[in-house]
Amino acid sequence: MSKPKILVARAIFPEVIAKLAQHFDVVSNQADEIWTPAELIAQLQGKQGVFTTGGERIDAAVLTACPDLKICANMAVGYNNFDLAAMTAAGVLATNAPDVLTETTADFGFALLMATARRMTEAEHFLRAGKWTKWSYDMFAGSDIHGTTLGILGMGRIGQGIAQRGAHGFDMNVIYHNRSRLDAATEAQCQARYVSKEELLKSADHLVLVLPYSASAHHAIGAAELAQMKPTATLVNIARGGIVDDAALAVALRNKVIAGAGLDVFEGEPQLHPDLLSVPNVVLTPHIASATLSTRLAMANLAADNLIEFLTQNKAITPLNPEVLVKR
């Protein structure tokens, strides 16, 4: 019997390709070319499954053009590259890669918060440029992390991981806002207090964004929200580009409306708003919050295992639209 055909849309670990090849006839983009939507559609012809990494858009147009497609497995917890309603309507299973990246991503959120509050990259640039000729009392003086108020917008698994680090590791007063309030036991474990978004903006010394992207989260932080924050506050975005209005943030940073920002995700990435590159009080990283080798391997294996389970047994480990399984 011939094996099902799948496409791996970006370069991934060779051992994961090898595992997939035990079950499937695999076409993989190990050259890591960035395909246009039309090229992706051409590559998907005759494929029953696709391994995506988060940047490949799967919408009604793709689904109509690729009638053999049955499953899209994302190697990311976020899945705003999927039109989930269109996939469900077409009977195509969507899976993501949650849990395996939670602690690694929370570690990175905290690292970005610390680098921002303590102005680490700004100070390093100064040093590398040969500008360090003498010590001065206020040189790169930043703001404290321990004992301050940590605000978290979006309190899913990663948000809770950041709350735990702040409360237990840095004795922070943790406040959060989320679509729905956590149960009392989880709040107690995170030592986190639920507040309105307004209260969060007004009271946080450090605000970390960890909410999923959706149309309603677009520009959740814009000029009006930044104006409500403390002038000493720092903002960290490890969620998704588009949640922050990057143009408004660059203006706010330049005018010292807030003290600093740490950004791992950007509107229109890998392009950045040019003004973000010219303001000094921002720490910039290229969407690497989940990037440790062991975590990226775990994410890739989870996406691969979803493809294997589904196409060989009609099951899935982390389905986003499990109703598709029931209907089959």
**Which residues are known to be catalytic?**
240, 269, 287
What are the phi and psi torsion angles at 24 (to 5°)? Answer: -130, 160
State the binding string over 262-301 for ligand 8YV (x if CB under 6 A, else -).
-------------------------x--x-----------
CA distance 302 to 308: 10
Q: Is 53 in the site for ligand 8YV (CB under 6 A)?
A: yes
Return the amino acid letter for 76.
A
Distance of closest approach, residue 99 Cβ to ligand 8YV, in angstroms:
11
Segment lying near ligand 8YV (by CB under 6 A), choices 60-68, 75-83, 154-162, 223-231:
75-83
Neighbours of 289 (CB within 10 A): 23
Angle at 266 between CA 265 and CA 270, to 5 degrees: 95
Return the amino acid letter for 66.
C
Buried b (16+ CB within 10 A) or exposed e, 102-121: bbbbbbbbbbbbbbbbbbbb
Segment lying near ligand 8YV (by CB under 6 A), choices 11-19, 71-79, 171-179, 221-229:
71-79
In this chain, which of 69, 77, 201, 253 binds ligand 8YV, going by CB under 6 A? 77
Residues 191-250 that bind ligand 8YV (CB under 6 A): none
Distance of closest approach, residue 98 Cβ to ligand 8YV, in angstroms:
8
Tokens of 280: 């000094």
Q: Is 308 in the site for ligand 8YV (CB under 6 A)?
A: no
Q: Specify the residue for token string 């989260």.
A: 217
Q: Is 55 in the site for ligand 8YV (CB under 6 A)?
A: yes
Contacts 24+ apart (CB under 8 A), 74-77: 74/303, 75/12, 75/51, 75/299, 75/300, 75/302, 75/303, 76/290, 76/299, 77/101, 77/158
In this chain, which of 6, 40, 73, 76 binds ligand 8YV, going by CB under 6 A? 76
Please report the DSSP string for 146-166 in residue order. Answer: TTSEEEEE--SHHHHHHHHII
Q: Is 159 in the site for ligand 8YV (CB under 6 A)?
A: no
Distance of closest approach, residue 55 Cβ to ligand 8YV, in angstroms:
5
Are 128 and 120 in contact by the 8 Å Cβ rule? The answer is no
Q: Which is nearer to ligand 8YV, 75 or 175 (CB)?
A: 75
Where are the alpha helices (H) located in 96-196, listed in sequence order? Answer: 102-117, 120-128, 157-164, 170, 184-190
Q: Is 154 in the site for ligand 8YV (CB under 6 A)?
A: no
Q: Which is nearer to ligand 8YV, 78 or 222 (CB)?
A: 78
Distance of closest approach, residue 189 Cβ to ligand 8YV, in angstroms:
23
Q: Is 101 in the site for ligand 8YV (CB under 6 A)?
A: yes
Distance of closest approach, residue 96 Cβ to ligand 8YV, in angstroms:
8
- Residues in the interface with ligand 8YV (CB under 6 A) total 9
Q: Which residues pair with 94 in a beta bridge?
A: 72
Distance of closest approach, residue 287 Cβ to ligand 8YV, in angstroms:
6
Rg of the chain over Cα atoms, rounded to whole angstroms, equals 22
Q: Which is nearer to ligand 8YV, 122 or 246 (CB)?
A: 246
Segment lying near ligand 8YV (by CB under 6 A), choices 33-41, 72-80, 84-92, 300-308:
72-80
Q: Which residues bind ligand 8YV (CB under 6 A)?
A: 53-55, 76-78, 101, 287, 290
